[in-house]
């Protein structure tokens, strides 16, 4: 308990609150407008939005080639700024390839993407660029300790996306897709001022080459992980129809609110703090990992209980009888949310160990678990229940592996 209060009074906690404040505002607003979106758009429209966001979740982690993570660990300010500018430039051609890939999937109806409208390829390219630039500048702001700016970024993006979707409902079902894209650009604009400082050379291939090892390890890992996270909606849409896929998309959006609220903020501050400890006292990383995980679990359990027992009733009341299935799905996914909240917040530490490739093995297992749905003949709720508990078991096992790995002698020297 003494450690608990000490952490609450620390700079670590204040930084988390600063970032989470903006995220809390955004997610509270998103939660309040969800009933309006559910009444403005059909489950089928939510299904289209779900598979569009699923694609962005996978493709966006490749658009930057994960160089943004190295911005925090760069040895000098000059190097960090060069890496920031170079990654911003690099993301444009990679994002264009992402738009081409989305068009190919639409034309060939790969994974059910043929249901998307023709303009989705342009929207995909634009959304990838906005996401990449926002992510890169966010990490640069974290390096500078500009936690308030990071919080404003989260708030701006989180409010702009649902507002755009509400306003653009007048154009029909595609309003969800257009609103998703525009909202991501508003988030990027909140961070643009941190790059007003002039720089002699924006494109530095030598700096990219220096940090290529980090990119080579992290890109496969986050790509597979994002694919595993995004796969359920398209898979359920293919197996059970657009209405079920739309219900799962809404359930994921609601269940994801606590993860985006607390998990993202804690992950950012925790990662920066670990980098600092590696330079001054690597032996303190493991205790920080343990304390942070414990506090996260204490925060997540009440939320999990709320979703488990309250979601079916609350969703039916807020969203209408059309979305009763989504409420039951939220209840089923509650343990999934608890495990993901804890693991996503402390999981980046594996990339600072001498065994980052273990994360790739975990991601492959995560993707294989999603594939289980294809080989079982069960109703959607039972299939989702199996998927949830398989993930919970995997999260617990991987946390044990990380705790064992992050001994001082196994951590990298930065």
pLDDT at position 179 over 80: yes
User: CB burial class (10 A; 0-12, 13-18, 19+) of residue 7?
Assistant: middle
Closest by CA to 60, choosing from 151, 136, 141, 165, is 136
pLDDT at position 414 over 60: no
Question: What was the pLDDT predicted at 23?
Answer: 59
Gyration radius from the chain CA atoms: 21
Closest by CA to 80, choosing from 72, 92, 88, is 72
Report residue 192's pLDDT band, with 50, 70 and 90 as the boundaries. low
Q: What one-character-per-residue DSSP string does 364-381 give? A: HHHHHHHHGGGG----HH
In whole angstroms, how far apart are CA 77 and each of 74, 147, 282? 7, 17, 23
Q: What are phi and psi of 377, to 5 degrees?
A: -105, 80
Three-state DSSP class for residue 59: helix
Please state the pTM of the whole predicted model. Answer: 0.69
Report residue 168's pLDDT band, with 50, 70 and 90 as the boundaries. very high
pLDDT at position 25 over 70: no
pLDDT at position 4 over 90: no
CA 119 – CA 333 distance, rounded (Å) = 33
The residue whose two tokens read 């678990």 is 369
By residue count, the chain amounts to 414
Closest by CA to 365, choosing from 256, 225, 264, 243, is 225
Report residue 311's pLDDT band, with 50, 70 and 90 as the boundaries. confident
Q: For the ranges 16-25, 272-281, 396-405, which has the lowest average pLDDT?
A: 16-25
pLDDT at position 101 over 90: yes
Half-sphere exposure of 112 (CA within 13 A, CB side): 22
Cβ neighbour number for residue 115 with a 10 Å cutoff:
15
Q: What are phi and psi of 411, to 5 degrees?
A: -95, 150
Average pLDDT over residues 275-281: 82
In whole angstroms, how far apart are CA 381 and each of 46, 279, 333, 387? 18, 48, 10, 10
Q: Report the percent of the chain where pLDDT is more than 90.
A: 22
**Per residue in 111-162, pLDDT tens?**
788 889 999 999 999 999 999 998 898 888 888 877 777 777 777 887 888 8
CA 315 – CA 317 distance, rounded (Å) = 5
Closest by CA to 233, choosing from 244, 223, 220, is 244
Q: What one-character-per-residue DSSP string does 199-229 give? A: -S-S--HHHHHHTHHHHHHHHHHHHHHHHHH
pLDDT at position 9 over 50: no
């Amino acid at each position: 308990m003494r450690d608990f209060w000490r952490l609450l009074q620390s700079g670590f906690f204040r930084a988390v609150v600063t970032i989470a404040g903006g995220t809390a505002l955004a997610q509270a607003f998103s939660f309040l407008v969800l009933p309006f979106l559910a009444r403005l758009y059909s489950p089928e429209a939510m299904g289209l939005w779900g598979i569009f966001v699923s694609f962005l979740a996978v493709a966006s982690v490749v658009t930057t080639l994960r160089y943004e993570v190295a911005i925090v660990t760069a040895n000098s300010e000059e190097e960090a700024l060069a890496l920031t500018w170079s990654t911003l430039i690099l993301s444009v051609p990679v994002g264009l390839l992402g738009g081409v890939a989305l068009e190919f999937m639409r034309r060939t109806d790969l994974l059910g993407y043929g249901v998307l409208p023709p303009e989705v390829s342009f929207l995909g390219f634009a959304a990838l660029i906005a996401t990449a630039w926002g992510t890169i500048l966010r990490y640069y702001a974290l390096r500078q300790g500009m936690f308030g700016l990071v919080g404003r970024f989260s708030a701006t993006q989180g409010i702009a996306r649902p507002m755009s979707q509400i306003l653009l409902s007048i154009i029909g079902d595609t309003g969800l897709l257009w609103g998703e894209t525009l909202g991501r650009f508003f988030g990027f604009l909140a961070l643009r001022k941190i790059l007003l400082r002039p720089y002699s050379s924006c494109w530095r291939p030598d700096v990219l080459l220096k940090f290529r090892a980090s990119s080579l390890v992290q890109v496969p890992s986050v790509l597979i992980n994002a694919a595993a996270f995004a796969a359920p909606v398209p898979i359920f849409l293919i197996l059970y129809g657009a209405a079920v896929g739309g219900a799962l998309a809404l359930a994921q959006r609601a269940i994801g609110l606590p993860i985006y609220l607390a998990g993202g903020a804690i992950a950012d501050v925790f990662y920066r703090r670990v980098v600092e400890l590696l330079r001054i006292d690597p032996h303190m990383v493991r205790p920080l990992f343990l304390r942070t995980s414990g506090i996260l679990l204490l925060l997540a359990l009440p939320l999990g209980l709320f979703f488990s027992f309250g979601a079916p009733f609350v969703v039916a009341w807020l969203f209408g009888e059309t979305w009763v299935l989504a409420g039951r799905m939220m209840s089923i996914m509650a343990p999934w949310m608890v495990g993901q909240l804890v693991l996503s917040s402390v999981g980046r530490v594996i990339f600072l160990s001498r065994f980052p490739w273990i994360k790739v093995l975990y991601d492959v297992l995560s993707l294989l678990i999603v594939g289980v749905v294809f080989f079982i003949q069960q109703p959607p709720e039972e299939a989702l229940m199996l998927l949830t508990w398989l993930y919970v078991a995997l999260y617990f096992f991987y946390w044990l592996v990380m705790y064992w790995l992050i001994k001082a002698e196994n951590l990298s020297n930065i």
